Chain A
C-alpha cells in the first residue's frame, strides 16, 4: 500500500514570494510517478507538475519546480514569484497504472496581496 503525507495543512505567503510545499511518500513499487495537483475553489483538479521516479533530474514547469529526493522519499513543490491565482488546495500524489494515484491530505495555500 502506498501512503502520501503532507504535513502542512495550510500556508500563507505574500504575492511574489517563493513558497515550498512538503510531501513525503512511502511505496514498495520500483516504478512509480509523483504528481502535484492543484484544486482551486472551482474544484477542478489541475495537474501542476509530474515526476517519473526513475528520472533523477527534478521536473520544472515555469514557476513550479520540485525537489525530488528518492532515497528520502521526499517530493516538495516550490512555487516562485507566487501569484494570487496560485491560491488553491495542493495535493501531492504517487502511483500510476491501473491502481490509480494515492493522494495526500492536501495543503491549502493562500497568496496574500
Chain B
C-alpha cells in the first residue's frame, strides 16, 4: 500500500491551461504539504495544511490554489500555467510533533 500517493506522475500541457494534481495519504497524519522542486533540485515549501486548515502559504502566485476536502487529501490546482511552473511537485504528510515528512513520488509538470 502506497502511504502518500500523487496523481498524475507526469503532466505535459500548454501555457495558459489549468491543471490539478491530487494527493492522498493513508497514514492518518494531521498535516499535509506541497513542495516544489525546481530544475536545480531545490525543494521549497508552498503550502501546509493541518486538519484541513491552511497553515502556511508561502509566496506563490495566486494561480496556485490548494484544497483539502478532508485530512487525508490535499489537491493542488494551477490556473493559467506558465513556463516557469515547470517543476516536480511533491506532496508530503507528517504527524504533528515528529517532524518527519513522508513524501509522495512527485508529479513532474512540463509546460510547453
Chain A residues proximal to chain B, CB less than 8 Å = 32-33, 35, 39, 43-45, 47, 50, 89, 91, 93, 95-103, 105-106
Contact = CB atoms under 8 A, between A and B. Distances in A.
Nearest to A44: B105
Contacts of A98: 31, 48, 50, 55-56, 96
B1 interface: no
Interface residues of B, number: 27
A89 B100 contact: no
7 contacts: A39-B41, A45-B90, A45-B92, A45-B106, A98-B55, A100-B31, A100-B35
A89 B42 CA distance: 11
Do most interface residues of chain B lie in helix, strand or loop, or is the interface mixed? strand
Nearest to B50: A98
B7 to A, nearest CB: 15
